[in-house]
A and B are shown apart, each in its own frame.
Chain A
């Protein structure tokens, strides 16, 4: 089997949501000496791109996005040891959290997974995260993007509280702020001073890629 066949097999395992297949393909590719970076990027990440396209066309749903990311994790478990400490350059850094009082994390976790697939370093603070903790993380990690999620109308105002705290600490201009969640409207996002309201996980990730791309070009 040539390199292209191994990459195709990895890609198809992701698209077909095949847990056993991805492990087998990853093992075979590594044993055959395929470059681990190529296996990841031209195999599995390429597969994730197809999953994303299918999601946008309505052929795949959220469940398939979640499972595809999980299948990719399995593949990465096999391939990562072959990277031999090679430092992979990160696309950018994101601090992400579900705001205080809210324990919903499905959307946030999918965004985190997709951001990692895209090459971002993601500092996921978890759920029910206080404003203070988010601000501390922004100071410590100096991210390009701050992502906040809330499902409850009760907890939505916490997002505005975080943005106000970012301003107070002189951090607001250094980061882009993206918010998401079922109750969040574009009007609400604008009213609290967020830069963007994610329509869905995929769109939020695309916006983040666009932001860091623009930043890289400016620099």
Chain B
């Protein structure tokens, strides 16, 4: 098979087509720019780059930010004042926050919300007001620029925020102390009403994304079956994926969802979603579903494998062994891509180890080929 560019390789594989080599790329947001990254790219590593297709305008809401000391810690309090009341969020920022990609700190972590936007039932109508007064406006410049810069080195995705119920679970209500679950049990009407409002408001955003120059629409959902249990997934998440996918597919776009947690319990339900790419699926020992098993369970989906961070922490030998085991698990290697990192810094040594395996991962993979790589 003729050698493909990295962009062609990732895209064709993401459409489920046979490619020349198992696509291997680094997530731009977590990429450790430097000599090792350069060497890996010279040896075939691609890049996936997620950028938004829109900007937002929030009407009739005053937003102010102040620096405060709360319980001995410096926090940044952002207050949203609306005609129906106000809510605030406190954010603790690690050293270097905003200096790294995507508001991340030097240690590559996002700011901690020490006080969430929604603290009690009285906050729901205020947040609903904010949601209903948020306007999504198309702005394709970030995607066009990234595509121009990246060329054939990789691909650019449109980034969508967490879907409505996940927005509440992870961002606005938060799961600390099980708060989201308790709110969902105590105030189901408020939670569901807000979820519906977010979903409605997002329709414009989905349409903008689907019409964007991005090839793939990526929803950074962070699905973990321990938190998003099957009942929640089926009731709230699946209908939203259907809505998103319908709009994406109308415009020829693929839909990817970031599912980097333990999704074994959701296996059958995920199979029923119209998602095209299960992104950042972590096999054991971080996740609980092997890639081979996932490929069998989801015959119409493509898997972008997230390499487990706890393997990186065991060093290059363990990284090499895991990469080879992974290849064995996915023989012949169709419908699979490998991402160097989505959430964990890889280290130069581990990155070089990965490329030393992946540069030889010609498809179709066979046991013999893998033994040769070894």
Q: Is the CB of B185 within 8 A of A67?
A: yes
Could you tell me which residues of chain B, from 217 to 242, have a CB within 8 Å of some CB in chain A? 224, 226-227, 229-232
Q: Is the CB of A182 within 8 A of B227?
A: no
Residues of chain A within 8 A (CB-CB) of B312 are 153
The chain A residue with its CB closest to the CB of B232 is A63
Total of A-B residue pairs, C-beta within 8 Å:
76
Could you tell me which residues of chain B, from 8 to 58, have a CB within 8 Å of some CB in chain A? none
| Residue-wise interface mask of B (156-175) relative to A, using a CB-CB cutoff of 8 A (1 in contact, 0 not) | 00000000000000000001
Q: Is the CB of A61 within 8 A of B310?
A: no
Q: Is the CB of B344 within 8 A of A153?
A: yes
Contact of B285 among A17, A63, A109, A185 (CB under 8 A): A185
Could you tell me which residues of chain B, from 171 to 224, have a CB within 8 Å of some CB in chain A? 175-178, 181-182, 184-186, 224
For the complex, what is the distance from the CA of A66 to the CA of B114, rounded to whole Å? Answer: 20
Residues of chain B within 8 A (CB-CB) of A188 are 310, 313
Given the interface contacts A106-B175, A188-B310, does A63 sit within 8 Å of B181 by beta carbon? Answer: yes
Q: Is B6 an interface residue (CB 8 A)?
A: no
Q: Is the CB of B178 within 8 A of A66?
A: yes
Q: Is B7 an interface residue (CB 8 A)?
A: no
Q: Is the CB of A67 within 8 A of B181?
A: yes
Q: Is the CB of A66 within 8 A of B227?
A: no
Least CB distance, B289 to chain A, in whole angstroms? 14
For the complex, what is the distance from the CA of A106 to the CA of B261, rounded to whole Å? Answer: 15
Q: Is the CB of B178 within 8 A of A106?
A: yes
- Which among B175, B312, B314 has the highest number of chain A CB atoms within 10 Å? B175
Residues of chain A within 8 A (CB-CB) of B269 are none
For the complex, what is the distance from the CA of A110 to the CA of B178, rounded to whole Å? Answer: 8
Residues of chain A within 8 A (CB-CB) of B313 are 153, 156-157, 188
Q: Is the CB of B262 within 8 A of A182?
A: yes
Q: Is the CB of B227 within 8 A of A105?
A: no
Q: Is A49 an interface residue (CB 8 A)?
A: no
- Which among A66, A69, A101 has the highest number of chain B CB atoms within 10 Å? A66
Given the interface contacts A106-B175, A183-B310, does A66 sit within 8 Å of B181 by beta carbon? Answer: yes
Q: Is B286 an interface residue (CB 8 A)?
A: yes
The chain B residue with its CB closest to the CB of A63 is B181
Could you tell me which residues of chain B, from 290 to 329, have a CB within 8 Å of some CB in chain A? 309-310, 312-314
Q: Is B107 an interface residue (CB 8 A)?
A: yes
Chain A interface residue bracket vs B: 20 to 34
Q: Is B112 an interface residue (CB 8 A)?
A: yes
Q: How many residues of B contact A (CB 8 A)?
A: 34
Residues of chain A within 8 A (CB-CB) of B107 are 101, 154
Q: Is the CB of B185 within 8 A of A105?
A: no
Q: Is A211 an interface residue (CB 8 A)?
A: no
Residues of chain B within 8 A (CB-CB) of A110 are 178
Least CB distance, A50 to chain B, in whole angstroms? 17
Q: Is the CB of A17 within 8 A of B185?
A: yes
The chain A residue with its CB closest to the CB of B309 is A153
Contact of B176 among A61, A62, A109, A182 (CB under 8 A): A109
Residues of chain A within 8 A (CB-CB) of B92 are 103
Q: Is the CB of A66 within 8 A of B286?
A: no
Residues of chain B within 8 A (CB-CB) of A152 are 109
Residues of chain B within 8 A (CB-CB) of A105 are 176-177
Given the interface contacts A62-B226, A63-B184, A182-B286, does A70 sit within 8 Å of B262 by beta carbon? Answer: no
Could you tell me which residues of chain B, from 96 to 128, have a CB within 8 Å of some CB in chain A? 107-109, 112, 114
The chain A residue with its CB closest to the CB of B226 is A62
Residues of chain A within 8 A (CB-CB) of B178 are 62-63, 66-67, 69-70, 106, 109-110
For the complex, what is the distance from the CA of A34 to the CA of B120, rounded to whole Å? Answer: 34
Q: Is A19 an interface residue (CB 8 A)?
A: yes
| Residue-wise interface mask of A (118-153) relative to B, using a CB-CB cutoff of 8 A (1 in contact, 0 not) | 000000000000000000000000000000000011
Q: Is the CB of B109 within 8 A of A183?
A: no
The chain B residue with its CB closest to the CB of A183 is B310
Residues of chain A within 8 A (CB-CB) of B286 are 182-183
Least CB distance, B104 to chain A, in whole angstroms? 12
Given the interface contacts A61-B229, A62-B226, A153-B310, does A109 sit within 8 Å of B177 by beta carbon? Answer: yes
The chain A residue with its CB closest to the CB of B229 is A61
Residues of chain A within 8 A (CB-CB) of B230 are 61
Residues of chain B within 8 A (CB-CB) of A184 are 310
Given contacts A61-B230, A105-B176, 16 further A-B contacts (CB under 8 A): A19-B186, A62-B181, A62-B226, A63-B184, A63-B185, A66-B181, A67-B178, A70-B178, A105-B177, A106-B177, A109-B177, A153-B344, A154-B108, A157-B313, A183-B310, A188-B313
A-B contact pairs, 14 of them (CB 8 A): A17-B185, A63-B185, A63-B232, A66-B181, A67-B178, A70-B178, A106-B175, A152-B109, A153-B310, A154-B108, A154-B344, A182-B224, A184-B310, A188-B310
Query: Ordered nearest first, which 7 A-B pairs have the shortest CB separation?
Result: A66-B178, A61-B229, A153-B309, A63-B181, A67-B185, A66-B181, A103-B112
